[in-house]
Amino acid sequence: MHLDHTHSGPAALSADAHRPDGSHRALRIGLGGPVGSGKTATVAALCRALRDELSLAVVTNDIYTREDAEFLLREAVLPPERITAVETGACPHTAIRDDISANLEAVEDLEDAVGPLDLILVESGGDNLTATFSKGLVDAQIFVIDVAGGDDIPRKGGPGVTTADLLVVNKTDLAPYVGSDLARMAADAKDQRAELPVVFQSLRRERGVADVAAWVRERLAAWTA
Amino acid sequence: MARAALLVLADGRFPAGGHAHSGGAEAAVKAGRITSAANLEDFCRGRLHTAGLVAGALAAAAVLGVDPGDLDAAADARTPSPALRTAARRLGRQLMRAARAGWPCDELDALARRFPKGAHQPVVLGLAARAAGLGPDDAAYCAAYESVSGPATAAVRLLSLDPFDATGVLARLAPELDRVAVTAVEAARRVPDEGVDALPAASGPLLEVGAEWHAAWPVRLFAS
């Protein structure tokens, strides 16, 4: 691959770990998962948990609106110049996997505009269980499902559940009301994922996003090491 | 140099950002101008002979070595809608990334440096074709085909149109596409003597107006 790290060089192509000026770029973490599983709420909680210790930014991939970006703006989790929305032409999985050019442009523009950044969160539009991020776009990915979507999802597997670097089972506070068996979900996830980590989370409980935030800090430590 | 590079460049799955753009189809659907395969064909025919012809000529001229800065200015002059100019530059920047990965060369790097926020997509397409060892006719075909394949694919998503009907539309337009490509290359060949004014300046006013309208929507599926 023809890559150029000098200051006058043209922009990077994709996952190159350095920016055109030779500096180390931000760690990019993707968040994917079905519609309504709590991706945006997790992003908002992560921003609140990490914004005082890290320089971070968010790219959202709304399917047909700017709702997710506007939710983050309304909640004021980050200054507006640190949140960018990418339009995906009705195909959120295409924009994060098959043709990542608009998302790459968004992360690079964020680093140029408000950088240097430590971390960029790339949130996919809600999609299906097969949606995964390209390694050309993100360094690690979190797949977010929730207990109300059915406790058989970990058993069904699929690329998101099986291969994501972190699986988050969200809304555990709802489990008693929707008849989801958390022990069964944990056992099925273990079968599908072997040693890959799983976090059970309720953003309404005191612990909130703490486990996911801890995982992000570990990834960042490895990235900057 | 391989002719088959044209297949790579013209492939709808070539990762250059086109999937998020409807080529004006989303605005036309909302305005009630595209409702079926029949008027999708009318829409595509109009786009082919206006935006498609201009894009084909720009791309062919870039293959022939005309200065990309002159061509970019010519593209600006032929695109009245600011929203369309923005979309064309964004797509040009995205195509640049894919082209540099596919056919790395100094000329593409220089263009990326000169236009860090993107040159008009047909200009980048022409230089990508040139980097791939393709000719002006190849670039013109690719640009002209994209001018109709984008809206046809978008209409399938927007109207739940039968995908076989949409493919039929593209197939029926093929002979006209041939003629547009020939006209585009003829114009491009005159540029070295006559300057960029020799390039066609056809435009569809409703495409330009529709693009401005579309860009102001709060809710839409496609970026343009």
CATH label of the domain that carries residue A194? 3.40.50.300
- Going by C-alpha positions, the residue among A27, A81, A19, A86 that lies closest to residue A59 is A86
- With CB atoms and an 8 Å threshold, state whether A98 touches B15: yes
Beta strand extents in chain B (DSSP E only): none
Q: Please, which residues have CB within 8 angstroms of residue B68's CB and are 6 or more apart in sequence?
A: B62, B111, B114, B115, B119, B123, B127
Which residues in chain B are closer than 8 Å to A88, comparing Cβ atoms?
20
pLDDT of residue B71: 98
**79-138 in chain A: CB under 8 A from chain B:** 86-91, 94-95, 98-102, 104-105
Range of A162's domain? 27-224
Report if residue A12 sits inside a domain.
no
Residue B159 exposed, middle or buried by CB count within 10 Å (0-12, 13-18, 19+): middle
Q: Using one digit for the tens of pLDDT, what is the confidence trace for B170-199?
A: 999 999 999 999 999 999 999 999 999 999
**Number of CB pairs, chain A paired with chain B, less than 8 A apart:** 80
More confident residue, B7 or A19: B7
Report if residue B104 sits inside a domain.
yes
pLDDT of residue A117: 96
**29-48 in chain A: CB under 8 A from chain B:** none
pLDDT of residue B1: 66
Range of B167's domain? 19-215
CB-based contact B170:B13 (threshold 8 Å): no
pLDDT along chain A (225 residues), means of 10: 48 75 89 93 96 96 79 89 88 89 94 94 87 93 94 91 96 96 96 95 96 98 92
Compute the nearest-CA separation of B197 from chain A (Å): 30
ipTM above 0.95, yes or no: no
User: Would you place residue B7 in the very low, low, confident or very high pLDDT band (cuts 50, 70, 90)?
Assistant: very high
How far is it, in rounded angstroms, from Cα A83 to Cα A73?
A: 8
How far is it, in rounded angstroms, from Cα B182 to Cα B188?
A: 10
Compute the nearest-CA separation of B146 from chain A (Å): 16
How far is it, in rounded angstroms, from Cα B155 to Cα B166?
A: 8
Mean pLDDT of chain B: 96
pLDDT of residue B202: 96
The letter for the amino acid at A221 is A
Which residues in chain B are closer than 8 Å to A11, comparing Cβ atoms?
97, 112, 116
Report if residue A166 sits inside a domain.
yes
Closest-CA residue of B relative to A13 is: B97
Q: Using one digit for the tens of pLDDT, what is the confidence trace for B34-93?
A: 999 999 999 999 999 999 999 999 999 999 999 999 999 999 999 999 999 999 999 999
pTM: 0.89
Which residues in chain B are closer than 8 Å to A2, comparing Cβ atoms?
100, 104, 109
Report if residue A4 sits inside a domain.
no
**A6-20 per-residue burial string, b: 16 or more CB within 10 A, e: under 16:** eeebbbbbbeeeebb
Span B205-218, mean pLDDT? Answer: 95
Which of B20, B100, B154 is closest, CB to CB, to A13? B100
Residue B178's domain is classified under what CATH number? 1.10.4190.10
| Helix, strand, or coil (residue A131) | coil
First-to-final CA distance of chain B? 34
